[in-house]
Structure 1
Amino acid sequence: MAVFKFLFYSILGVIAFLAPITIGGESSILMGHIKSIIIDGYIEQIRVLVIIASVTTVVGTIIGFIKKDFKNKYLKEFFICGPINGAARILGGIFFLMVHYGIGPAIILDPNTGGMMANDLLPSLMVTFCVGVMLMPLLTAFGLVEFIGVLIAPFMRKVFKVPGYAAIDAIASFLGDGTIGIVVTDEQYQKGYYTQREAVIIATSFSIVGISFAAVVSDLLKLSDRFIIFYATIAFSTVIAGIIIARLPLKKFKNEYYMGKNFAGEEGSTSFVVAIKKATEVANKAKEIEILLDSIKKVGILYITFIPVIMFMGTLGLVIAEHTNIFNIIAMPLVPILKLFGFSKEIATVMAPAMIVGFSDMYLPSLLIEGVPSEMARFLIGTLSFAQLIFLSETGMILVASKIGFNFWDTLKFFVLRTVITFPVIFIIVRILYSMGILAN
């Protein structure tokens, strides 16, 4: 019975997150199709849900500041937080309400700043989080993590210095959605599957934006006919970055488990029999009702603690990008460097800010570069924006809000680090593609 339970739920999980399915002529994972159906058919109801979450966040966090504590553990978990995080939650909730009702400064209501966050990104994230968190136990709660972890532990340890369990995070992120990858990594870290250092490596190396969004960007950049090469470049540069980051000191992040929890790891035998044994033990203990209730609670926590912070930081970053010259000024030293790499001054001037504006939102670099005639420049910036991985409107703030131990400066450091590592890798690939006649300058 335990073997059947393990196989049944695990196969469902693989179908939901990892198996491309074509529906209505569109190929995506099942989770992606569910997300699209909900967004296309119920967008107004989703916006009402965001309003409810925003009001609840603002009121609950203010009461939490006043009371300092709650006797109820759920109220405490939802509404008690530090002053900076609390201020970001409150302002994020207010920003959304301002945009939704069209009340407030034009700089916040702008369709390219708060308007983009409130009308485009937040509803999508609400659905992604809900569908992803509700379905994620199929991959993580019924033994598949343990099964995969036992079998490929030596490879993951040798290449990325992390447990075999991380393979699930990596695959789900690449084919699904990077935000869910970070949420899963944080969850597994809190359960004791990863040390803090391992969680950092996984969250900053594997939780890349999924293949479906990469297809959208490649189409914007007029590179959809070379999408396989486009995404393969993202994947390859991400793997290289992961191998390098895994070998850096990362002194702030300790090789210690969260609150001393240490799941008895997958070290030792890596035989198929042992993998099945560990998987069935976990599946046998799993109780569906408890997992369902826990998932609903996690969705609520994400809506209250993550969504408003993402709204605040994303809007702030987009305001800076759209209404100031800060990114252009910061990027000025990159122009001569890009000229040395063979790009003209005109193209380099556009590419330079595009290389750093992705820290605000990963879609911005492509918007800046889409009109440039050079295919090499569009390809390089498009793939780099994915390989950079950290951006404040989404992954960056999810990392800050997680229990892994990130702050704002950590996200900035990893953004710069990943840029420095992946840019030369991608540039070499671009030059090879140019020499083969696949890309034009």
Structure 2
Amino acid sequence: MSERDILPPGSSVPRTPLDSPAPASLPPEKLLSQPVALMQLIVFSTIGLVMFFVPFTIGEKSTILFDHGATYLVTQQHSLAVFLLFLLMIYGVGRPIYDGSWRKNITNMILTAFKIIGLALAVMYVSDMAPAIIMEKDMLPFLFEKLALPVGMIVPIGALILAFLLGFGLLEMFGVLMQPIMKPIWKTPGSSAIDAVASFVGSYSIGLLITNRVFLQNQYSVREAIIIATGFSTVSAAFMVIVAKTLGLMEFWNLFFWSTLIITFIVTAITARIPPIRGFDDSVERLDLDNQQGNRLAAAYHLGLATSRRATDLKQIMWSNFRDGLTMAAAIVPSIIAVGLTGLLLAKYTPVFDALGLLLYPFTWITGMPEPLEAAKGMSAGLAEMFLPALLLTEAEVLTRYVAGVVSISSVLFFSAMIPCVLATEIPLSVPKMVIIWFERVVLSILIAAPFGHLAIYLGWIS
């Protein structure tokens, strides 16, 4: 099994057996020397870790560095940010029409329609021509100013910074070190560790693309592919920043990020063992890479170094990640406006989410959340769009906001983007079963996140 067999074109993430070095994709004379590659691995990985996980105080605001940059664009260069956002949305709307992908299937048609509606709503907002019912401050103005603008700026910048975490060997080292625990805990092969981490810190679309490619190569069983697609392919760390900002949790960014990651993976370990996922076929014939002998730490080091030796074109690596971020932002921002407004209108003027929230109410009540019925209703809206719980509960108590943030990420599945992406793959998973998995994940996330939130508040980690 080679990296060419598994990875999508342009990807820089290799995957190899534990006891063999990664096959070179460049002639030996074009690879970086080992000392230079080691220095590159250390320096660039450190830059990525610092940019993503170390808060800095600038102008009395404490947050991670790239969030400072995006905030500067949105607040200090507002006109420029709006102009760039419209360029993104026009590209997002025009691309499926230009390449004809809008008529590929009914899902693409619906998503393209939502993108067009989202662009039209944005034009109506900036020209002050929208109906009064959607111009209330918690409707279209909130979606545009507090969600669409930050998403449009943060996702491309975040994708650029992610290049330092994904492109120089750190991810591969972590994947090898994770191999011994993947099968017993998550029921997936050890090699899926790279998929899991790439999906979490990268993007669900890239993660699903990799998972589908590996599944078609007969390296994942149906059950394993579904576990990875519905359990690890969550929104990226850049989107997590948007959720945390909306809910006022950036002051506790590291606690929010790491607890959400752990809770997401705990929930995945549980859903892998219960219906409907448990009932899917788990048979597959493949080379067993999980029982390789040798020094795992050394193998991780050599694989990380081999990846760094291949990373000879810094400009191309940065541009590839930035381009992916632009493409993702362009595709999702107009959808967020359209689907988000639909969800907000349904939440405010119809009983749709009230009824769905009643199913979650016992769990928000038993975990001692303030105003448990309102919390349940807000979290139920995440089925339509993962941002809606954050939008609907932004004024709630800090415990509710924390749990809503965790649920937004750990539920994984939502109709505005993730579910259509899964349907576009060859993974045999129906919409009804995805809805059941979504409900299981939300319930489990509440049952785990709420007690932890109580503990964090008691210990002063969250105030």
Higher relative contact order, chain-length normalized (CA < 8 Å, sep 6+) = 2
Mapped pair 1:127 → 2:153: yes
Tell me how far apart the structure 1 counterparts of residues 456 and 50 of structure 2 sit (CA, whole Å): 34
**1:193-250: per-residue Cα shift (whole Å, max 9, x none)?**
9953324321259979647854763679xxx8x9999888766644532321233453
- Check whether the contact 1:141–1:283 (CA below 8 A) recurs between aligned residues: yes
Tell me how far apart the structure 2 counterparts of residues 253 and 188 of structure 1 sit (CA, whole Å): 20
381-390 or 9-18: bigger deviation? 381-390
1:420–1:301 distance in 2 versus 1, CA, 3 Å: same
- Check whether the contact 2:353–2:377 (CA below 8 A) recurs between aligned residues: yes
Matches within 5 A, 1:153-302: 153-162=179-188, 163-165=192-194, 168-169=197-198, 172=201, 180-182=202-204, 185-186=207-208, 188-189=210-211, 192=214, 196-197=225-226, 198-204=228-234, 210=240, 214=244, 217=247, 237-248=263-274, 249-250=276-277, 268=292, 269=294, 271-286=296-311, 287-302=313-328
- 2:79 maps to amino acid: E
Aligned counterpart, 2:389: 362
TM-score by length of 1: 0.72
- The correspondence for 1:321, drawn from 347, 355, 359, is 347
Deviation at 1:104, TM superposition (A): 3.2
233-242 or 281-290: bigger deviation? 233-242
Tell me how far apart the structure 2 counterparts of residues 206 and 160 of structure 1 sit (CA, whole Å): 20
Aligned counterpart, 1:51: 86
Partner-residue secondary structure (3-state), 1:27: strand
Tell me how far apart the structure 2 counterparts of residues 219 and 141 of structure 1 sit (CA, whole Å): 29
TM-score by length of 2: 0.69
Indicate the RMSD between aligned Cα atoms, in angstroms.
4.6
- Check whether the contact 1:18–1:29 (CA below 8 A) recurs between aligned residues: yes
- Check whether the contact 2:160–2:318 (CA below 8 A) recurs between aligned residues: yes
Mapped pair 1:16 → 2:51: yes
Tell me how far apart the structure 1 counterparts of residues 259 and 412 of structure 2 sit (CA, whole Å): 24
- 2:204 maps to amino acid: I
Mapped pair 1:311 → 2:337: yes
Mapped pair 1:386 → 2:413: no
How many residue pairs get aligned? The number is: 404
Partner-residue secondary structure (3-state), 2:232: helix
Tell me how far apart the structure 2 counterparts of residues 141 and 277 of structure 1 sit (CA, whole Å): 15
- Check whether the contact 1:389–1:395 (CA below 8 A) recurs between aligned residues: no
Partner-residue secondary structure (3-state), 1:121: helix
Aligned counterpart, 1:373: none
1:247–1:37 distance in 2 versus 1, CA, 3 Å: farther
- Check whether the contact 1:155–1:164 (CA below 8 A) recurs between aligned residues: no
Deviation at 1:63, TM superposition (A): 4.8
- 2:393 maps to amino acid: S
Deviation at 1:45, TM superposition (A): 0.8
Tell me how far apart the structure 1 counterparts of residues 283 and 126 of structure 2 sit (CA, whole Å): 44
Aligned counterpart, 1:72: none
Tell me how far apart the structure 2 counterparts of residues 18 and 182 of structure 1 sit (CA, whole Å): 20
Structure 1 residue runs of 4+, over 6 Å off?
66-69, 205-209, 226-233, 251-257, 262-267, 391-395, 430-434
- 1:250 maps to amino acid: I
Aligned counterpart, 2:133: 107
Mapped pair 1:418 → 2:441: yes
Aligned counterpart, 1:353: 377
Deviation at 1:150, TM superposition (A): 1.3
Deviation at 1:288, TM superposition (A): 2.0
Tell me how far apart the structure 2 counterparts of residues 388 and 229 of structure 1 sit (CA, whole Å): 15
Unaligned residue ranges in structure 1 (runs of 5+): 70-79, 173-179, 371-377
Q: Give percent identity, aligned residues only.
A: 17
Aligned counterpart, 1:2: 37
- 2:403 maps to amino acid: L
- Check whether the contact 1:313–1:393 (CA below 8 A) recurs between aligned residues: no
Aligned counterpart, 1:35: 70
- Check whether the contact 2:70–2:153 (CA below 8 A) recurs between aligned residues: yes
- Check whether the contact 1:150–1:164 (CA below 8 A) recurs between aligned residues: yes
288-297 or 228-237: bigger deviation? 228-237
348-357 or 101-110: bigger deviation? 348-357
- Check whether the contact 1:134–1:292 (CA below 8 A) recurs between aligned residues: yes
Matches within 5 A, 1:47-126: 47-64=82-99, 82-126=108-152
**1:29-88: per-residue Cα shift (whole Å, max 9, x none)?**
33323323333322221111122233344455445559979xxxxxxxxxx983122212
